[in-house]
Amino acid sequence: MRLIIHIGTPKAGSSSLQVALKANRSQLLEHGILHPAIGRGAHHADLASGLHVPEAMRDIDLRRNGNDPAAVMRKTEAAWQSVADQVAKHNPETLILSAENFLSIDDFDTLRAWLERIAPGVSPTSVAYLRAPVPNHESKASQRLGWTSKVRLPASLAWHSRLMRWKAIGTVRLRDLAKVGDIRTDFLESVQEGLTSAVSLPERNANVSLTGEGCIALQAVLMNKPAGNVGSHVERSRAWRARLAEAEAALGQSLPLRRVTVNPAVRWLILDAWHNEALALREEFGFQFDEPALYNRTEIDRGLADSGARNLNLAETDPLSRFLANDQTAALRLLAHAAEQGDSSRVDIPITRIKDGIRNLFRRVSR
């Protein structure tokens, strides 16, 4: 049996791949490829959630289990047992496991024990898709608004050191998301070698993705009301995201809407934060992003100086508009349209307060 483990990384199309694998589970099984069903989700996050020391467990996993690390570990053990049972039942030629949080685990002894039990003597092939630092941060800024109204400063992720731990248990394949096109098609090529007929994964993920102007508007409305608990924030974020998407569709022909785009100064801060990490990935894995400036220390230093990036004094609680090069006036029009056209029973903030709030944000930024 072959064992292929998709280990992320974040913001690199994992949800799209996982939704497609789940939707086509029966078809894959007909070809001897098992993508196990674990709970109701498309991902296998429960397999990795408990493979951490307690202090390194994700907040979301702890919240879902009464803030009890032991409960998280029990859920992980049950998930691995479920995989073992499904492997025994179907006896597949290929086993696929997929979870972003595989990348960050630290309990590799337990992982090895389960892999040996499920696939004795099999060396796994780990596949990780990487998104270049600047678009990675741009995408993260948008998605983060679903959980909080705050924005984080650019920072690197410890991909190299984590990938080195996976390299110790088997082959690691790194793929540049910008070069592969459709992650679903690219991933499938790694699992269907030797198959007599091709397998396709037609299902796509349908998450609402706002433009940069929409994201600025979304943060403005979220910052104008106390966050409350996480659940209420998520619900409100989803409702306003849907309404802003409708506003983008209605006003898109008359507004300069663009994808989330960081301003030049923030771009150089991102490249600066990722420089050493990028060099390590290139040296150890032969992997290089299509961003020449990322590997040029002299160019980064010049960009930081010319853009005044070091003098921005950005804080985590700053408005998103300080980070982005998107049109703030268009964001105001989107927000006003979304508020006026929305169901009155769903408007949880007065329209005048919304308009005043976003104007005040823009005034602070322009000073």
For every residue of 241-303, which 3-state class applies, written as one string? HHHHHHHHHHHCCCCCCCCCCECHHHHHHHHHHHHHHHHHHHHHHCCCCCCHHHHCHHHHHHH
76-105 pLDDT, tens per residue?
A: 999 999 999 999 999 999 999 999 889 989
Quick check: 269 pLDDT over 90? yes
Same domain? For 230 and 340 the reply is: yes
Give yes or no for residue 270 having a pLDDT over 90.
Answer: yes
Residues 184 and 220 placed together within one structural domain of the fold: no
**Could you tell me if 160 and 230 lie in one domain?**
no
pLDDT value of position 146: 81
Supply the range of the domain harboring residue 224: 212-260+324-366
Cα–Cα distance, 203 to 104 (Å, whole number): 27
Residue 274 maps to a domain: no
Residue 319 in 3-state DSSP? coil
Contact yes or no for 52/162 (Cβ under 8 A): no
Residue 255 domain-assigned? yes
Look at 181 and 30; give whichever has higher pLDDT: 30
- If phi > 0 it is left, if psi is from -120 to 50 it is alpha, else beta; for residue 287 that is beta
For residue 198, being part of any structural domain is answered with no
Would 195 be classed as within a structural domain? no
Tokens, residue 203 = 């299902």
More confident residue, 192 or 48: 48
Q: Check residue 150 and give its pLDDT.
A: 81
Say yes or no to pLDDT of 196 above 60: no
Helices (H) and strands (E) in the chain, counts: 16, 5
Alpha-carbon torsion angle 77, 78, 79, 82, nearest 10: 120
Percent of the chain beyond pLDDT 90?
53
Question: Can you tell me the distance from the alpha carbon of 87 to that of 214, in angstroms, rounded to the nearest whole number?
Answer: 45
Q: Do 81 and 127 fall within a single domain?
A: yes
In a domain, 244, yes or no: yes
My answer on whether 120 and 86 are in the same domain is yes
Higher local confidence (pLDDT), 69 or 215: 215
Give me the number of domains the chain comprises.
Answer: 2
Model confidence, pTM: 0.85
Question: What's the pLDDT tens digit per position in 107-164?
Answer: 999 999 999 999 999 999 999 999 999 999 998 888 888 878 888 777 788 899 999 9
Phi, psi torsion values for 156, nearest 5 degrees? -85, 160
Mean pLDDT of the chain: 86
CA dihedral of 6, 8, 12, 17, whole degrees rounded to 10: 30
pLDDT of residue 317: 77
Predicted confidence at residue 344, as pLDDT, reads 40
Is 196 within a domain?
no
Q: How many CB atoms lie within 10 A of CB 148?
A: 16
Per-residue model confidence as pLDDT tens digits over 294-335: 999 999 999 999 999 988 888 877 888 889 999 999 999 999
Same domain, residue pair 117 and 74: yes
